[in-house]
Amino acid sequence: MIYLDYAASAPMSDEAMQVFHELNQEVYGNASSLHDAGGKAEHILKYCRRQLAGLIHGHEDGIYFTSGGTESNILALQSVLNGLPAARRHFVTTSVEHSSIRNLVFLLQSQGWGISVMQPDSSGRITPELLLSHVREDTGLVSIQHANSETGIIQDLQELSPILKKRNILLHTDAVQTFGKIPVHADELGFDVLTVSSHKVYGPKGVGAVYIRPGVEWKPLYPGTTHEKGFRPGTVNVPGIGAFVTAAAAMTGQMTELAQHFRKLKSHLFMEGQRLGIPLKPVVDEARAQVLPHIAGCYFLKAEGQYIMLECNRNGICISTGSACAAGQQEPSPSVKALGASDQEALRFIRISFGQHTTLQEIDTLLNTLHQTAISKL
């Protein structure tokens, strides 16, 4: 099998697997227990909190561990919104966020929150002018993803965050796709709240984290919760967290090297595809927008993406038609349509995403399958 869907999930690294195994065997106490076994688990948890904070150049007191990216988004946003004053009940987000945030918008509307949803420009960017046109005096929180999981478009938070800071508006960013792939620096990007996930960086599934800058007020979604300083209910998954932080540290340490590798793979995919006459068109003009190096979103111009994905799967190759959290839905992707695509064009979208062990030979095998598929559609 050739796996080219790393934006959806990645396998656990050997280092993460080893740590996970050792901690399951040796650190099985509940971190909230007062006996020595609990104290040992709490010690590991504090170490992991400090390590993860260091990777994002944040403060360890702001780290809260969760069960993954979706829960991180829901808990982070609702907890911070709960902590806002009554005069700040306006929430701004974008039309291209992860489904967990898009779905949360409907709940917030039913609870009486003012909601504004920004539509990116034709290059997929949230510009300062666009942001300024949506914030109001009663805006309390803005949520803008660091990069899109389908198109790979990176938002310039460093340019946007000062606009919000000047108006005392908090900024949340979903960095699930960027953490471990490009630098995520709390002070440089200017976010107040951050969400990340383990299985995107070769850690175990079922683990994630939220960072809330110390000093930001928040109130728990579930009152009376004792774990994670009241942020999340349930026994803390210490072995999973240890494996997550181990994997994240390894990925962060080789970001530059891997980015070069991914760019080489992406360049080969499109250049060789063009040479072979494969009807493959990048969904983003990288001269107009910054794009994650490991994500190659594209249109297959002669067939729907679902058909191409199934043909690849029949040949032992895993690609996707977008976010795994929206898999099975027949509607065109909002992230692709935001770039000006028609419904028909958006349904021709496929996403190819690379991992650290992806080779040029695997890309050539994919290209051969796409070439044969294109011939069959003539």
Give the end of a domain, one of 225, 253, 281: 253
203 and 72 share a domain? yes
- CATH assignment at residue 323: 3.90.1150.10
Summarize pLDDT for 207-218 with one digit per residue, the tens. Answer: 999 999 999 999
- Amino acid found at 19: V
221 and 262 share a domain? no
Q: What is the CA radius of gyration of the chain?
A: 21
127 and 200 share a domain? yes
pLDDT the model gives residue 285: 87
Q: Is 318 a catalytic residue?
A: no
State the CB neighbour count (10 A cutoff) for residue 91: 25
pLDDT the model gives residue 226: 83
Summarize pLDDT for 229-270 with one digit per residue, the tens. Answer: 999 999 999 999 999 999 999 999 999 999 999 999 999 999
21 and 133 share a domain? yes
24 and 62 share a domain? yes
| Cβ-contact 237, 207 below 8 angstroms | yes
48 and 172 share a domain? yes
- The HSE-up count of residue 113 (CA atoms within 13 Å, CB side) is 26
The total of structural domains in the chain comes to: 2
Give the end of a domain, one of 199, 225, 253: 253
Q: How confident is the model at residue 323 (pLDDT cuts 50, 70, 90)?
A: low
Tell me the pTM: 0.95
Range of the domain at 199: 14-253
Summarize pLDDT for 153-171 with one digit per residue, the tens. Answer: 999 999 999 999 999 999 9
209 and 347 share a domain? no
Which uninterrupted H or E stretch holds 242? helix 238-253
- SS3 label, residue 35: coil
Q: Is the pLDDT of residue 330 over 70?
A: no
Please pick, among 48, 312, 318, 325, the residue that the annotation labels catalytic.
Answer: 325
pLDDT the model gives residue 64: 98
